[in-house]
Chain A
């Protein structure tokens, strides 16, 4: 067992554990915090996959924006009576079943795939994924259009969110 494998395992367990806690905890704020932990674990995995930029982006965007946003939302939609009691709805058994079946199915299907156990290929030290990514995102031959569209999407979402959450009473 190499060091990388150990690190991976620790990270994986941490992530999965945090994720599990997210979906199980009764306290919603705790769930948000556990979510932060899970997202952090995902960032670490990104690092292990030589996607440094994505790791940073993950932390900044997901944890820095999205998770915070969720905490704000929890704060704004607090009902004391709702926080007590089990936080799962009566169909949790069916949900569990579906999730389990899906996991089993996916695993089984993937294991039949030939490329299931591909080892990690070497990448040359001269390769710079960051530079490549930057060029790909603004290059007309590559992904500039999706990039621009994504920005438009964000503007739209921004405006949309404001509109939806606009409080008519206070104007």
Chain B
């Protein structure tokens, strides 16, 4: 890692900052749930470190616990994670010049909060930085999420059965997400996206395979399309 990359990596981690505590709590709640769902400690840890997706794990866990067919488990996880296909289009464009191996690593480590924090950091950035440093920044943000998540799950797996699990623990993770949303809500566009997305998500909260969430994203992106003007040429660090 060259110095500017290291600085960018730390800068990226700073975008997540203390909210990693929320990720940690969320991970702990998931770790406890996995063990209660019948996974061994090794399986729970392996799942968290390799799958690294709360939504896929939460969707798959009840099916694993009831002994569903493997293809059904896989399909459920695939559908629950469809929003990442949308993210991958953003990430692919953002890092199109990076070597394939790094692109795949970047894609695999993409998280909701990491990507959101990175993108809002990009919007506020005054000076444009090289794609290599941007990649380091992205990895810094998502790397810290990975760290907090994995550590939290390990603790959760360790203490499962020792302390009663509280829905409050997982909720701290959601509060961290709310706090990441807060600073993003500084424009009319952001509110125009967030309000209908929130309504759709509440209406579709019980739709299967996180359908409500996917519909909320579709509505949000549609609003963004309608409200953003045609491109000003040569603007934005991404192009």
A, B co-complexed:
no
